[in-house]
Amino acid sequence: MEVTSKDASRIARALFLLRVGVFIVMAVWTLDKFIRPEHTAAVFEHFYGLEGLGTALVYTLASAETALLIAFVLGVAPRLTYGVVLLLHGVSTLSAYQQYLHPFDSNNLLFFAAWPMLAACFALYTLRDFDTWRITRCLRAT
């Protein structure tokens, strides 16, 4: 099947909206790190077995994540930024495996939303060459 310019435009628009959607979710998670660093420390301890994360380290992680997400949403270095977002979300999704074994306990059902988002991250990474609505493209046009 040949991709026409109209198809390419529709694909680019869909991938851009997918990228913005992933960014929104991850930006809220990042904002949570700034607002409730103690919650982040508890999450890291529970899901990753990393104890004693101090506020300064949580803020450092949140700052690095913010820079990554800004580059991601702008479409900068997609092989790198889309790949790191996919990796981070993949680790996050898989680390919650216990919640998937007991979907109807507490709020565990919410953890299942991670899977379609992981699929979106995978689609963005795999189709990054078709995701042409990027800031770098706009800058080259000027």
DSSP 1: -
Q: Which amino acid, one-letter code, is at 42? A: A
- pTM: predicted TM-score of the whole model, two decimal places: 0.92
pLDDT at 1: 78
Phi, psi of 62 (to 5 degrees): -65, -40
pLDDT at 137: 65
pLDDT at 100: 95
CA atoms lying within 13 Å on the CB side of residue 37: 13
Phi, psi of 2 (to 5 degrees): -90, 135
- Calculate the CA 11 to chain-centre distance: 20
pLDDT at 135: 84
| Maximum pairwise Cα distance, the chain | 54
pLDDT by 10-residue block (mean), the chain, 142 residues: 91 97 98 97 94 96 98 97 98 96 92 97 97 77 56
